[in-house]
């Protein structure tokens, strides 16, 4: 089932999300529903707060990046097979010199900006079977994970922009929160009463 994606301005996107247990209600339908919602919107990642749930759950599938010709064959292969669910994730370490990448977000349609992040990330998490893992990622994989991780910390990529950029985007962000935007997937807007 496709779930509505929560738009910029909704308080749920600003909460520090909480850990869950195996007993979290209907997790076995929530996860497939979130995959379906993400693919329907052509996203490479989706976090639970984006479907209105302030819990530490996100997923990543970087396959759409794998035909990017600017990447090495090795990196393309790595991105092609990467599909994972991250539960109760915690970033242990981020290292390296910050690099820019043009990011977007399903909760902030039509806005893309260069965001600086460190290239390497070590993260601990539980998979969908609640098995623990600690892994290190770099490059685009790290980038997508860092973006989704920010969602469960109540952070959006627009927070990371310069104050000038933020001022320039203010009106567009306000329009998004009011639903004054055309988008080809189902969304829920905080500042209008009825969902579209
Ligand atoms: Ni996002």
Centroid of ligand 1 to alpha carbon of 24 (angstroms): 23
Q: How confident is the model at residue 191 (pLDDT cuts 50, 70, 90)?
A: confident
Centroid of ligand 1 to alpha carbon of 63 (angstroms): 17
pLDDT at 195 over 60: no
Quote the pLDDT of residue 70. Answer: 84
Quote the pLDDT of residue 8. Answer: 98
Residue 148 falls in the annotated catalytic set = yes
Give the model confidence (pLDDT) of 140-187 as tens digits.
999 999 999 999 999 999 999 999 999 999 999 999 999 999 999 999
Q: Which of 75, 148, 153, 174 is catalytic?
A: 148
Quote the pLDDT of residue 65. Answer: 84
**120 close to 97: Cβ distance less than 8 angstroms:** no
Give the model confidence (pLDDT) of 170-181 as tens digits.
999 999 999 999
Q: What are 28's two structure tokens?
A: 């076995």
Mean pLDDT value of segment 4-21: 98
Strand 45-47 and strand 120-126: the pairing is: unpaired
Return d(Cα 7, Cα 158) in angstroms, integer.
Answer: 13
Tally Cβ neighbours within 10 Å of residue 20.
Answer: 19
pLDDT at 194 over 60: no
Return d(Cα 59, Cα 67) in angstroms, integer.
Answer: 20
Mean pLDDT value of segment 23-29: 97
* Cα separation values, 85 from 131, 148, 152, 187, Å: 11, 11, 13, 22
Percent of the chain with pLDDT over 70: 98
* Cα separation values, 52 from 6, 21, 47, 152, 172, Å: 6, 18, 9, 11, 22
Centroid of ligand 1 to alpha carbon of 154 (angstroms): 11
Centroid of ligand 1 to alpha carbon of 33 (angstroms): 17
pLDDT at 67 over 90: no
Mean predicted lDDT score pLDDT of the chain: 95
């Amino acid at each position: 089932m496709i779930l509505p994606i929560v738009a910029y301005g909704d308080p749920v996107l600003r909460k520090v999300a909480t850990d869950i247990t195996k007993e979290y209600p209907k997790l076995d339908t929530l996860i497939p529903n979130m995959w379906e919602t993400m693919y329907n919107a052509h996203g490479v990642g989706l976090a639970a707060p984006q479907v209105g749930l302030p819990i530490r759950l996100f997923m990543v599938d970087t396959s759409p990046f794998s035909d990017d010709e600017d990447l090495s064959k090795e990196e393309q292969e790595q991105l092609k097979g990467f599909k994972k669910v991250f539960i109760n994730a915690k970033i242990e370490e981020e290292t390296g010199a910050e690099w820019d990448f043009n990011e977007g977000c399903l909760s902030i349609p039509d806005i893309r900006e260069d965001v600086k992040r460190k290239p390497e990330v070590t993260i601990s998490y539980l998979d969908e079977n609640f098995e623990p893992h600690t892994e290190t990622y770099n490059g685009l994989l790290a980038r997508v994970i860092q973006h989704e991780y920010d969602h469960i910390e109540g952070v959006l990529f627009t927070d990371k922009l310069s104050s000038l950029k933020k001022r320039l985007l203010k009106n567009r962000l306000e329009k998004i929160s009011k639903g004054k935007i055309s988008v080809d997937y189902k969304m829920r807007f905080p500042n209008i009463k009825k969902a579209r």
